[in-house]
Amino acid sequence: MEFLFSLCILSFFLLLGKALRANIKILQTLFLPSAIIAGFVALAFGPYGLSLIPEWVIKNWAPLPGVLINVVFATLFLGINIPGIRKIWDAGGSQLCFGAIAGIGQYFIALLVTGLILIPLFKVHELFACIVEVGFSGGHGTAAGMKDAFKGYGFAAGGDLALMSATVGILTAVIGGMVLINIAIRKDYCTHLSVKKGIPQFKKKGLIPENKRFPIATATVASEAIEPLSFHFAIVAIAIAIGWAFLSGLQALYSEFDKFPLFPLAMIGGLIVQKISIKFKIDKYYDKSTFDRILGFALDVLILSAIATIKLDVFIANFWPFLIIMITGITWMIFCASFLAPRMFKKFWFERGITEYGMQTGVTAVGLLLLRVVDPLYKTDTAKAFGFKQMIYEPFLGGGFITAFSPMLITKLGLWKSIAASLVIMTIFFLVSYFSGWVNFKPDLKCSE
C-alpha cells in the first residue's frame, strides 16, 4: 500500500505542476513542462527542503526513473514504418551529421575542460566529463539508468550529478530554446513564425480550447477482447523482455556487461518487435499515438520522480566543477544552434537547429516541442529529417550504446585518447556533410521558403 500511496502523492504533485503552469505567467512564458515544475515543488517539500514528504515516499520514488527509462526507449521504434537506409540518408543525412557533431561535441568539450581545468584544480574523476552528454542528450532516464555503471567504475557521485545535469539541460532546452526562438522571430530567422503571428496563448497555458482539441489515440483492437491500452502496453513489455534477455546473455558471456544498463537493449528489443510485426503484418494493429501516450506518461513520471529525488548534498559537494562543466556544455549547444546550424543546413536552418538544440540539451520531446512552436503545422521538412535522423542516432547517442559504453571507453582509452577520438569522429561527420554539399560557409540567416 505504501507504493500505491507514493504514486498518489506523485500524481498530486503532477497536477499541482499543471495548475501552476496554467495560472502563473512566468511559467507560461518560460514554457516549462508541468513535470519539471512538479519535480522542483516536490524537491522543495522533500528532505532537502521543508521535509514534509515522508522518507518512505522518497524511497518509493527513487527507483522509478531507472525503471521507466526502459519503457521510454522500448517504444521509440514501435508503431512506425522503418524505411530503407537510402531514404533515411537522403531526407535526414544532414540532420544526422549535425546531430552527431553536437552530441559527440558534448563529450569532446567536456573531456577537454575536465582534463585542462577540473582534474588539476578540483581532482575530479575523469568520468566527470560524461555527465554532460548523459544528462543533456540522454536526459533524466538515461542518467538514472547509468547510476550503476558510474558506480562500477568508481564514480559513485556520477548518477546524482548526471541527474542534476539532466535538470540543468532540460531547463536550458526549454528556457534557452524560447529565448533563441524569440530572438529568431525578431530577426526573421523563422520561416512560418513572425512577431505578428506570435505564440498562441493556449500553448503557453497548456490548456487546449474545445475548437482545437484532437484525439490522442485510435482503437485497433476491440475492448471486449482486450483493452487497446493493455494490448499496446503488452507489446512494450515484450520489447523490454527481449532487451533483458539480451543483457542477461551478454552478462553471462562478459562480466563487463554487469555494469551495462538495460535501456539501449530495450530499444533494440522494440526494433526487433516492430520488424517481426511488419513481417507478419501484425503492425497494422499498432497505433503509434497509443505508444506515444505510453511514452509520454512514463516520461512525465520519470522526470518528476528524478528531480524530486536528487541528492542535493552530492551536488553541493561538487558545486564549482559542476558549474564550470554546465556552462561549458550550454555554451557548446548555443554555438551549435546559432553558428553551426546555419552553416550545415541550406534550408530551414533555424527550425532544424532549434529542434536539435532541444533534443541535445533536453529530450526528443522537448526538441519536437520547440519545433512545434516555430513550425506548428510541420510545413518545413524538419520533422521528417529529424525523425529519420533519430532512427540512426538513438541507438548510439542520447542514451544509446555510445552513451552506455562511454564510462568503459573513457576508462580503457584514457582521457586524452578519448578527446582525440571524439575530435576525429566530429571531423569525419563534418567532412561527410561538406562533401555531400550540405555545408555553406557564408549563409544567409534570413528565412527563405
Q: What is the dihedral of CA 29, 30, 31, 35, to 10 degrees?
A: -130
Confirm whether 444 is domain-assigned: no
Residue-wise pLDDT tens digits, 121-166? 999 999 999 999 999 998 888 888 898 889 989 999 999 999 999 9
Q: Is 296 exposed, middle or buried (0-12, 13-18, 19+ CB in 10 A)?
A: middle
In a domain, 155, yes or no: no
User: What is the pLDDT, as a whole number, of residue 421?
Assistant: 97
Does some domain include residue 309? no
**Domain that includes residue 87, residue range:** 65-134+171-200+224-293+318-435
Question: Cell 534570413 maps to which residue?
Answer: 446
Residue 153 lies in a domain: no
Q: What is the pLDDT of residue 199?
A: 62
Running along the chain, 449 residues long, what does each successive block of 10 average in pLDDT? 94 96 87 86 93 94 88 86 82 94 97 97 96 92 87 91 91 88 84 60 77 87 94 97 94 81 87 93 94 89 87 89 97 96 92 93 79 77 84 86 92 95 97 95 73
Query: Taking Cα atoms as reference points, which of 313, 302, 286, 329 lies closest to residue 112?
Result: 329
**pLDDT for res 197:** 54
> Is 398 inside any structural domain?
yes
Task: Name the grid cell of 152.
Answer: 562500477
DSSP class per residue in 49-108: TT--S-HHHHHHHTTHHHHHHHHHHHTTTTTS----HHHHHHHHHHHHHHHHHHHHHHHH
Per-residue pLDDT reduced to its tens digit, 388-422: 898 888 888 988 889 999 999 999 999 999 999 99
Total number of domains constituting the chain: 1
pLDDT at 354: 94
Query: Does 102 reside within a domain?
Result: yes
CA atoms within 13 A on the CB side of 162: 35
Encode pLDDT of 10-35 as tens digits.
999 999 999 999 999 888 877 778 98
CA 96/CA 325 separation, integer angstroms: 25
Q: What pLDDT is attached to residue 80?
A: 83
The answer as to whether 207 is a domain residue is no
Whether 145 is covered by a domain: the verdict is no
Q: What is the pLDDT of residue 377?
A: 66
